[in-house]
Amino acid sequence: MLETEDLGAYYFLIEALRDTPLISDGYLVLGEVLLGVRDGFQTYERLPPGVHA
């Protein structure tokens, strides 16, 4: 499990890992990537009407 406070940095980390032999040669397989944002639902619900995309 990885935790981050910077989703952009997390994305770059995963992309960099994909370019390594560890993953590109099949030694490690990323089976499922689950992403959650703490209190994301509450933040979403606080958005003004019409902002939900």
Q: Give dist(CA 19, CA 35) in Å, integer.
A: 21
Q: What is the pLDDT of residue 25?
A: 93
What is the model's pTM? 0.54
Tens of pLDDT, residue by residue over 2-51, are 788 888 888 888 888 888 999 889 998 888 877 777 787 888 888 888 77
CB–CB of 34/26 below 8 Å? no
Give 28's DSSP letter.
S
Q: Give dist(CA 22, CA 28) in Å, integer.
A: 6
**Length reported for the chain:** 53
Task: Give the confidence band of 53 by pLDDT, cuts at 50, 70, 90.
Answer: low
Q: What is the pLDDT of residue 21?
A: 94
Residue type, 39: D
CB–CB of 23/17 below 8 Å? yes
